[in-house]
């Protein structure tokens, strides 16, 4: 395959893609990423197939990746002949039957309607991308996710796939490096190091074997940007890796991906085989002197392997333990050779920069943080999902405009996962860029945004993150191994109501020590959640330590379950569900809850909330209120 | 060895210690866990000591050293699930199955695992039984699922 043949193949792909939009038979799209599947997309497909068979409708079924608004899943898009693709949300198997029936009659089911994805307007149907969650977004990396069939290389080609690679191959590597430099792209794994500078160090190290590693070991709990991207558009990552490898002079590449992402791995395997078939991977790519191939390495479950030197140790078959730097991997990495490790998003951004030019990319973002960034927006926010916004967008815009705000009162947002910090209301107008978040005491991180409301306990959340990093500490250096353990123990003491004011000072001192003296990024950033929480939510720590009170009514040793006599109708639902017989009747009279027996499992609270005759007669409240 | 899978895995990677992790992954895929004998065979084939193999295997969360249960239950304790009550779900499972994460119930029917994010945060809190995902769980719903599955 050479450039001319690829152009010919792309022309055919464009025709086929256009043919799909103008199809004379109905086309049905279902988002079957991991998140869609969890929401029931595979059952939805079965229902659609059954309905099509029963009505003897000849339709084409296309499986696409995740388009972003997870809270609307499963999504079903129907494109009738002569109509644009129309998207419906929260489609159960039963609803699918109704929606399809209406669509076959040329009607639109308003109840589930989200919008259409056509080029032109369509009567009475809003545009999908005008939806409040999508309108403020700029989709560059995610441009194909949810739009194309990730297993169909022609879909990717039809949407200018591998154009960036062709441009890259036609230029000397120095020009490509210059392009990446001018684009202002910085590492999207979270550290934000300028991509071009890291590359140049690697390129300038003399060696006949350089390696490129894609870090897809997305380990932050609550972050799934990379998985969705790979599941929805795997070729974008491959093209990005090719561009990086060409610039670096690397002939071997690895994708280090979590074994917990089976669907992403499957899609990558398919894409790699397709690329090899077309001569886009292997020897003499597109007839040039450039040769490159990719091997998938499955991570075996260790958060610390996101650290560069630990990741290399893992690929070499050892425990994922970091080593001191320098030498940096760009100089001496995998098997002692110059190695570049880039995050999935960094790499998948490259084809767009090459295709549209660095100035186009750099015009998004701020002075120092160019371009866009993907985030997984989750927690107590109304509209959860995967989003992409220009850097410089404020936290308020993301949480309130895109996320639709918080059902209960907003309390804080955690950026950067277990390595980041929680920022309260006074930081809502902070622009999301590397410097502003760092100045506020948090970090950009890889892209997890977890929204907390007034029912979330800040001390408990800090304990949660610390417990995570403590469990994931590799144990090599003392500050991290021992320090994080003591931090967790201190937080546990405070959550049990057994802490004192002096424990807060101890927390701060120890956190600073762990932060300043750990060997790698895991330990250096592990104290961030507790430091930022102490800084901005000190009152809540004091409430636990001094008043022995958890204002959010979360910490189990500081809450009680209580029956509000005036509201209880004595329906006995709680008596039935209590696993330890802590609640007693008699029927039709206010029940008694024995505090000594209660294991605080929450069953009674839930049934009273949703199933009981009166409702809300059982409350969880801070101890010592009543 | 329990069956014939091991020799073929060993032969394919013979003498290549860098392949240790994929070899352990293939071995676990074949047996469901890493039996003692398999660790010995892996060490011999890759020219490593048993302690080196064991050291790597115990480092990574993916590997288990006891046979899995017939059904595999996972509780998500990612951040979104945690703030929406994932911890309560874990307590219910521990209480009802009588096991802690990483263990298999005495009758061999269930094993329990806690995971940090399945990646469907919009459905938090989430519990999975084998391949099936149960989203927006509550203590009462989970108890109901366990009742239906006949789990005393």
List residues of chain B with CB under 8 Å from any CB of chain A.
Answer: 17-22, 24-25, 55-56, 59-63, 77-80, 82-85, 88, 91-92, 95, 115-124, 126, 133, 135, 138-140, 143
Q: Using a CB-CB distance cutoff of 8 angstroms, which residues of chain B are in contact with residue A220?
A: 117
What are the CA-CA distances from residue A317 to residues A67, A387, A431 (Å)?
Answer: 36, 35, 41
Strand partners of residue A413: A423, A451
Q: What's the mean pLDDT in B64-69?
A: 92
Of the pLDDT bands very low, low, confident and very high (cuts 50, 70, 90), residue A121 is confident
Q: Tens of pLDDT along A420-453?
A: 999 999 999 999 999 999 999 999 999 999 999 9
Q: What angle do CA A539, A452, A528 make, to 5 degrees?
A: 65
Q: Assess A96–B contact: CB distance below 8 Å, yes or no.
A: no
Q: Assess A130–B contact: CB distance below 8 Å, yes or no.
A: no
Phi first, then psi: give them for residue A598, nearest 5 degrees. -60, 130
Interface test with A, best of B121, B128, B131, B134 (most A CBs within 10 A): B121
3-state secondary structure A499-556: CCHHHHHHHHHHHHHHHHHCCCHHHHHCCHHHHHHHHHCHHHHHHHHCCCCCCCCCCH
pLDDT for B2 beyond 70? no
Shared domain for A389 and A475, answered yes or no, is no
- pLDDT number for residue B6: 74
CATH of the domain at A529: 1.20.1440.230
| Interatomic CA distance for residues A439 and A570, integer angstroms | 55
Residue A592 lies in a domain: yes
Residue ranges of A 431-450 with Cβ closer than 8 A to chain B: 448, 450
Residue A350 lies in a domain: yes
Q: Are A403 and A135 in contact (CB under 8 A)?
A: no
- pLDDT number for residue A625: 54
Q: What's the mean pLDDT in A247-275?
A: 96
pLDDT for A277 beyond 80? yes
Shared domain for A330 and A422, answered yes or no, is no
pLDDT for A511 beyond 60? yes
Q: Which of A453, A470, A505 is the last residue of a domain?
A: A453
Shared domain for A401 and A259, answered yes or no, is no
Q: Assess A310–B contact: CB distance below 8 Å, yes or no.
A: no
Name, in order, each residue with C-beta under 8 angstroms of A622's C-beta and a sequence gap of 6 or more. A549, A550, A551, A553, A558, A559
Shared domain for A312 and A283, answered yes or no, is yes
For A365, the 3-state DSSP assignment is strand
Of the pLDDT bands very low, low, confident and very high (cuts 50, 70, 90), residue A76 is very high
Of the pLDDT bands very low, low, confident and very high (cuts 50, 70, 90), residue B8 is confident
* 8-state DSSP, A294: E
CATH of the domain at A576: 3.30.70.20
Q: Which of A360, A394, A420 is the last residue of a domain?
A: A360
Q: Which of A299, A334, A360 is the last residue of a domain?
A: A360
Residue A5 lies in a domain: no
Element at A559 (helix H, strand E): strand A559-563
Taking the CA of residue A34 and the nearest CA in chain B, the distance in Å comes to 7
Cβ distance A378 to B88 less than 8 Å, yes or no, reads no
What are the CA-CA distances from residue B98 to residues A2, A392, A489, B86, B151 (Å)?
Answer: 62, 50, 26, 18, 11
Strand partners of residue A431: A394
CA A216 to mean position of chain CA atoms:
12
Mean pLDDT of chain A: 95
By Cβ distance, the residue of B60, B116, B138 closest to A606 is B138
Taking the CA of residue A522 and the nearest CA in chain B, the distance in Å comes to 16
Taking the CA of residue A445 and the nearest CA in chain B, the distance in Å comes to 15
**According to the per-residue pLDDT averaged within each range, which of A102-106, A119-123, A342-346, A442-446 is highest?**
A342-346
By Cβ distance, the residue of A221, A414, A465 closest to B117 is A221
Reported pTM: 0.95
Of the pLDDT bands very low, low, confident and very high (cuts 50, 70, 90), residue A626 is very low
pLDDT for A615 beyond 80? no
Q: Are A395 and A428 in contact (CB under 8 A)?
A: yes
Residue A410 lies in a domain: yes
pLDDT for B152 beyond 70? no
| Interatomic CA distance for residues B114 and B98, integer angstroms | 15
Shared domain for A291 and A167, answered yes or no, is yes
Q: Using a CB-CB distance cutoff of 8 angstroms, which residues of chain B are in contact with residue A450?
A: 79-80, 83
Q: Are A278 and A287 in contact (CB under 8 A)?
A: no
Q: Tens of pLDDT along A97-113?
A: 999 999 999 999 999 99
Shared domain for A377 and A493, answered yes or no, is no
Shared domain for A170 and A299, answered yes or no, is yes
Interface test with B, best of A68, A72, A222 (most B CBs within 10 A): A222
List the domain range (segments joined by +) for residue A283. Answer: 162-360
pLDDT for A182 beyond 50? yes
Q: Assess A622–B contact: CB distance below 8 Å, yes or no.
A: no
Q: What percent of chain B has pLDDT over 70?
A: 95
Q: Tens of pLDDT along B119-137?
A: 778 788 999 999 888 989 9
| Interatomic CA distance for residues A390 and A395, integer angstroms | 12
With b meaning 16 or more CB within 10 Å and e meaning fewer, what string describes A165-185? Answer: bbbbbeeeeeebbebbbbbbb
By Cβ distance, the residue of B19, B117, B122 closest to A70 is B122
Element at B91 (helix H, strand E): helix B86-97
Nearest to A595 by CA among A549, A563, A568, A567: A563
Residue A142 lies in a domain: no
How high is the ipTM of this complex? 0.92
Comparing A283-287, A591-595, A612-616, the range with the smallest average pLDDT is A612-616
Shared domain for A480 and A434, answered yes or no, is no
Q: Using a CB-CB distance cutoff of 8 angstroms, which residues of chain A are in contact with residue B80?
A: 222, 378-379, 384, 450
| Interatomic CA distance for residues A71 and B99, integer angstroms | 33
pLDDT for A404 beyond 90? yes
User: What is the number of domains present in chain A?
Assistant: 5
- pLDDT number for residue A200: 98
pLDDT for A624 beyond 90? no
Cβ distance B21 to A452 less than 8 Å, yes or no, reads no
Of the pLDDT bands very low, low, confident and very high (cuts 50, 70, 90), residue B151 is low
| Interatomic CA distance for residues A248 and A299, integer angstroms | 25
CATH of the domain at A415: 3.10.20.600
Nearest to A148 by CA among A134, A160, A163: A160
| Interatomic CA distance for residues A285 and A282, integer angstroms | 6
Element at A236 (helix H, strand E): helix A234-248
Shared domain for A349 and A401, answered yes or no, is no
Shared domain for A538 and A612, answered yes or no, is no
What are the CA-CA distances from residue A106 to residues A83, A85, A86, A100, A470 (Å)?
Answer: 9, 13, 12, 10, 57
CATH of the domain at A97: 3.40.30.10
H helix intervals, A105-171: 153-158, 163-169
Q: Tens of pLDDT along B68-123?
A: 999 999 999 988 899 999 999 999 999 999 999 989 999 999 999 998 877 778 78
By Cβ distance, the residue of A302, A468, A606 closest to B140 is A606
| Interatomic CA distance for residues A448 and B80, integer angstroms | 10
Shared domain for A73 and A98, answered yes or no, is yes
Cβ distance A302 to B59 less than 8 Å, yes or no, reads yes
Q: Using a CB-CB distance cutoff of 8 angstroms, which residues of chain B are in contact with residue A302?
A: 59-61
**Count of residues making up chain B:** 152
Residue A88 lies in a domain: yes
Cβ distance A221 to B21 less than 8 Å, yes or no, reads no
Residue ranges of A 364-403 with Cβ closer than 8 A to chain B: 376, 378-380, 384-385
Q: Tens of pLDDT along A127-153?
A: 999 999 999 999 999 999 999 999 999
Q: What's the mean pLDDT in A478-485?
A: 98
Question: Strand B71-76 relative to strand A618-622: parallel, antiparallel, unpaired?
Answer: unpaired
Cβ distance A316 to B82 less than 8 Å, yes or no, reads no
Q: Using a CB-CB distance cutoff of 8 angstroms, which residues of chain A are in contact with residue B143?
A: 577, 579, 603
Q: Tens of pLDDT along A202-224?
A: 999 999 999 999 999 998 888 89
State both tokens at A463: 């304990």
Q: What's the mean pLDDT in A247-273?
A: 96
Residue A121 lies in a domain: yes
Nearest to A448 by CA among A280, A268, A226: A226
- pLDDT number for residue B4: 61
Q: What's the mean pLDDT in A478-491?
A: 98
pLDDT for A43 beyond 70? yes
- pLDDT number for residue A3: 86
Residue A308 lies in a domain: yes
Q: What percent of chain A has pLDDT over 70?
A: 100
Which domains are assigned to chain B?
Answer: 5-59 (no CATH), 71-148 (3.40.30.10)
Q: What percent of chain A has pLDDT over 90?
A: 91
* 8-state DSSP, B145: H
Shared domain for A516 and A398, answered yes or no, is no
- pLDDT number for residue B1: 44
Cβ distance B120 to A222 less than 8 Å, yes or no, reads no
Phi first, then psi: give them for residue B88, nearest 5 degrees. -65, -35
Q: Using a CB-CB distance cutoff of 8 angstroms, which residues of chain B are in contact with residue A224?
A: 117, 119, 121
Cβ distance A39 to B123 less than 8 Å, yes or no, reads yes
């Amino acid at each position: 395959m050479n450039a001319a043949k690829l152009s010919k193949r792309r022309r055919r792909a464009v025709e086929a893609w256009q043919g799909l939009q103008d199809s004379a038979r109905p086309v049905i799209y279902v988002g079957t990423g991991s998140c869609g599947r969890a929401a029931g997309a595979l059952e939805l497909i079965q229902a659609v197939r059954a309905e099509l068979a029963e009505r003897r409708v000849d339709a084409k079924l296309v499986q696409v990746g995740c388009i972003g608004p997870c809270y609307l899943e499963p999504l079903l898009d129907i494109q009738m002949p002569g109509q644009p693709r129309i998207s419906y949300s929260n489609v159960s198997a039963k609803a699918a039957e109704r929606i399809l029936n209406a669509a076959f009659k040329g009607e639109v089911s308003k109840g589930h309607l989200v919008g259409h994805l056509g080029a032109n307007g369509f009567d009475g149907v809003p545009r999908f991308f005008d939806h409040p969650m999508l309108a403020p977004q700029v989709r560059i990396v995610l441009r194909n996710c949810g739009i194309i069939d990730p297993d169909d290389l022609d879909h990717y080609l039809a949407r200018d796939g591998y154009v960036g690679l062709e441009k890259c191959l036609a230029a000397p590597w120095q020009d490509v490096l210059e392009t990446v430099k001018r684009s202002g792209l910085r590492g999207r794994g979270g550290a934000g190091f300028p991509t071009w500078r890291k590359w140049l160090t690697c390129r300038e190290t003399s060696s006949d074997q350089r390696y490129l590693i894609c870090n897809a070991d997305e380990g932050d709990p609550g972050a799934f940007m990379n998985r969705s991207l790979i599941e929805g558009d795997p070729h974008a990552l491959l093209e990005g890796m090719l561009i990086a490898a060409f610039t670096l002079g690397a002939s071997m590449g690895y994708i280090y991906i979590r074994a917990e992402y089976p669907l992403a791995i499957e899609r990558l395997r398919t894409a790699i085989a397709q690329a090899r078939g077309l001569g886009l991977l292997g020897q003499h790519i597109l007839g040039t002197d450039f040769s490159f191939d990719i091997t998938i390495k499955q991570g075996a479950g260790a958060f610390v392997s996101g650290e560069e030197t630990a990741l290399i140790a893992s690929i070499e078959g050892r425990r994922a333990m970091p080593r001191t730097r320098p030498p940096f991997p760009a100089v001496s990495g995998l098997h002692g050779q110059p190695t570049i490790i880039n995050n999935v998003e960094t790499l998948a951004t490259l084809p767009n920069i090459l295709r549209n030019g660095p100035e186009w990319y750099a015009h998004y973002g701020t002075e120092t943080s160019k371009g866009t960034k993907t985030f997984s927006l989750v927690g107590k926010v109304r509209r959860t999902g995967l989003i992409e916004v220009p850097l410089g967008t404020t936290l308020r815009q993301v949480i309130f405009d895109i996320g639709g705000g918080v059902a209960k009162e907003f309390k804080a947002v955690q950026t950067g996962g277990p390595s980041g910090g929680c920022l309260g209301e006074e930081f809502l107008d902070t622009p999301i860029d590397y410097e502003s978040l760092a100045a506020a005491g948090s970090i950009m991180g890889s892209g997890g945004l977890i929204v907390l409301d007034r029912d979330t306990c800040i001390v408990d959340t800090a304990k949660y993150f610390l417990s995570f990093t403590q469990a994931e500490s590799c144990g090599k250096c003392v500050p991290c191994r021992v320090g994080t353990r003591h931090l967790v123990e201190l937080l546990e003491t405070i959550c049990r109501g057994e802490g004192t004011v002096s424990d807060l000072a101890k927390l701060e001192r120890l956190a600073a020590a762990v932060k300043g003296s750990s060997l790698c990024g895991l330990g250096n950033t592990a104290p961030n959640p507790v430091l930022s929480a102490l800084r901005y939510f000190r009152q809540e720590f004091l409430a636990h330590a001094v008043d022995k009170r958890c204002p959010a009514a979360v910490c189990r040793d500081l809450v009680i379950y209580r029956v509000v006599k005036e509201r209880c109708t004595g329906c006995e639902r709680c008596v039935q569900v209590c696993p330890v017989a802590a609640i007693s009747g008699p029927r039709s009279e206010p029940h008694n809850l024995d505090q000594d027996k209660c294991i605080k499992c929450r069953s009674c609270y839930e049934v009273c909330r949703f199933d009981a005759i009166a409702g809300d007669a059982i409350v969880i409240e801070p101890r010592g209120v009543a | 060895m329990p069956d014939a899978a091991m020799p073929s895995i060993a032969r394919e990677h013979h003498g290549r210690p860098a392949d240790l992790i994929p070899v352990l992954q293939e071995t676990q895929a074949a047996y469901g866990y890493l039996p003692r004998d398999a660790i010995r065979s892996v060490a011999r084939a890759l020219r490593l000591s048993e302690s080196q193999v064991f050291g790597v295997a115990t480092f990574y969360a993916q590997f288990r050293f006891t046979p899995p249960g017939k059904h595999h239950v996972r509780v998500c304790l990612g951040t979104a699930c945690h703030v929406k009550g994932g911890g309560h779900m874990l307590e219910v499972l521990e209480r009802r199955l009588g096991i802690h994460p990483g263990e298999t119930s005495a009758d061999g029917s269930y094993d329990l695992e806690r995971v940090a994010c399945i990646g469907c945060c919009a459905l938090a809190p989430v519990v999975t039984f084998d391949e099936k995902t149960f989203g927006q769980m509550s203590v009462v719903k989970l108890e109901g699922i366990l009742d239906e599955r006949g789990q005393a």
